[in-house]
Amino acid sequence: MRLKNISLNYGMRVFKALSEEPRVRILHLLMQNKEMSISDLEHILDFTQTKTSRHITYLKNAGLVASKKRDQWTFYYLLDEAVEIIQQIFKFIQKDSNLIRDQEIYEILFSNRELAKNKIQDNKYGS
């Protein structure tokens, strides 16, 4: 769903959510990677589970992030109505070294996970 305009109240929630670096970094990772688990966010950002959960809860309450359960995992993602405004804001800070480093760590983590899955598959099927 594309927003044509936003209310002042929603705009204030967005800007308050962006007022702390950990939340900006979480939003950036979610924007880049569509969805992520809390454990991935903790690992990439080097945050405690408590800190990560606190910031995710803030983003959910601000109407920017939602979650869905898959088996025992909870995955977080940007709400459709928040994507466009968040993308516009990140156009101005996309070259920030912290945001770039976070994404690089994610890509290494994802690559290692894919390698492990392939190795398990190969062992399982005797290749």
Question: What is the residue range of 102's domain?
Answer: 8-124
The pLDDT, as a whole number, for residue 80 is: 92
What is the pLDDT averaged over residues 86-114? 90
* Domain assignment present for 65: yes
Here the CATH number for the domain that contains residue 72 is 1.10.10.10
Residue 110, domain member (yes or no): yes
Give the phi and the psi of residue 97 in degrees, each rounded to 5.
-60, -35
Residues 6+ apart with CB under 8 A from 44: 29, 102, 105, 106, 109
Percentage of the chain lying above the pLDDT 90 cut: 66
Q: How many contiguous H segments (helices) and E segments (strands) does the chain have?
A: 6, 3
- Asked if residue 74 is part of any domain, the answer here is yes
Alpha-carbon distance of 53 to 63, in angstroms, equals 15
Question: Which tokens hold the place of 84?
Answer: 């466009």
Q: How confident is the model at residue 2 (pLDDT cuts 50, 70, 90)?
A: low
Residue 1 forms part of a structural domain: no
Q: How many domains does the chain have?
A: 1
Residue 76 located in a structural domain: yes
Q: What is the mean pLDDT of the chain?
A: 89
pLDDT at 10: 86
- pLDDT tens-digit readout, 29-61: 999 999 999 999 999 999 999 999 999 999 999
pTM of the prediction? 0.83
Reported as a single tens digit per residue, the pLDDT across 18-30 is: 999 999 999 999 9
Residue 63 belongs to some domain of the structure: yes
| Residue 94 pLDDT level (bands cut at 50, 70, 90) | confident
Residue 3 in any domain: the answer is no
